[in-house]
Amino acid sequence: MMDVRVKLLILLASSFLIYSLIVLLKVLYDYWWVPLRIEHFLNSQGLQGPPYKFIHGCNKQINKMRSEALSKPMGLTHDILPRVFPHVYSWINLYGKNYLSWDGVQAQVVTTDPELIKEVLKNSEQTFPKREPPIYISRLVGDGLVTTEGEKWAKQRKLANYVFHGESLKDVFQEFRMLTSEVISRTAFGSSYLEGEKIFYMLKKLADIVSRNSNKSRIPILSKFWKTDDDVGSEKLAREIKDLVIEIVKKRENKVASGEAESFGSDFLGLLVKAFNNPDKKNKISMEDLVDECKTFYFAGQETVNALLAWAVLVLAIHSDWQDKARREVMEIFGSQNPHSEGLAKLKIMSMIINETLRLYAPINGLVRRARRQVQVGKLVLPAKVDVWIPNMALHHDPQLWGDDAHVFKPERFKEGIAKATKYNAAAFIPFGMGPRACVGMTFAINETKTALSMILQRYTISLSPAYVHSPTPRITVQPQHGIQVILNSLSNDA
């Protein structure tokens, strides 16, 4: 009996040692050998960058540089790249427009070369699809329009195109009250901000988790068995958001079932519910897809426009000459009436101001694509599964593309349109991306911003409060760390 136990213990110990050795070899292969092999392959083509560090890549270095940059006060300047993305600013100057960086074990070719960018973004579906989102991003927006691929993306894009067609904006003009959250609630989901308030609140908490974990490396093996507080918290929030969206969907379905409504509605939610109930499997979507699309539109629709509006108000407060020009244009076109779609198209000065705001304070921090297979772009041969990261802000602040005054607020750059401003270099200005995966809500976002700014300029002058501290901070979008404090003086005689 004793011999059997000893043999069993020896067998178990041997099995454990063999398993441990296999795991160790797997970790060394994935986290040391493969990155070093990719690094050598790309270095041999002249693509340099900060060296790969075991498991963490460049993440520790990036976080240290960010922490140092954000700890220093900055003056009231639009030259924000060194503060928001200090690693990009430093490494472009050190290694050039194309360099190799590491997000943990993941190789990233960072590029601000417009020709290479055009090649990558215009060929995104075949060779450079969007990469699978990190765990926290997937809990924030799921497998919605922003992250999904292939036929599923095409089907969901078709639904979104219908909703964000210009004509649907007429509802926005009549009901514009609580700015971005209210607008996205009403136009896309047929509800008020109060009904979606819990969803907005939970999405914001999820966004905070995403920001906290940006450029943080997950320890191999251990991360699969041990959950952090953010892991547990994000899972709980994702479940609660799903339950709330399902509740809203059930209300829509019950109204049709009881005869209270003839259809599921023509807004975005109505189209999704219709697709969910479609008997044709080719056009049907799952409940998971429906929830993910709702999360995407609730979050992306509010977050990007909110950031754009905030920075636009700031530049108008700082540059009172352009504020006066914009107000004169608004009064000439609308007078004291509410903005309308026909008039918005005529706001040339406003368009120049918004484009210059988008250039200096791009709402999207960067675009990431992953090489589906080994591929040549420009003179570079990229191995399969290498990411290409395009930091929009670095492009938009590049003196070689925009001149020595690239950091100066000059809306007149766009006087003759975007093509002329970029010298017909389409990749020089990509606040909403480009190619087949360009943001579907771009026109909606710009028209919403025009509407809000027009209504403010009709009623108030805007000046910067002495309490304002200029501190742009990278989150999912670039946001003012301490808010934007402005003074609104009424233009009304009886104010």
Tokens representing residue 141 in the block: 């927006």
> In sequence order, which ranges of 2-149 are alpha helices (DSSP H)?
2-28, 34-43, 59-71, 81-84, 86-95, 114-121, 135-141
- The response to whether 439 counts as a known ligand-binding position is yes
Q: How many residues comprise the chain?
A: 495
Q: Is 263 exposed, middle or buried (0-12, 13-18, 19+ CB in 10 A)?
A: exposed
CA angle 434, 437, 438 (to 5 degrees): 40
CA angle 472, 194, 135 (to 5 degrees): 55
Binding residues: 439
Binding residues for heme: 439
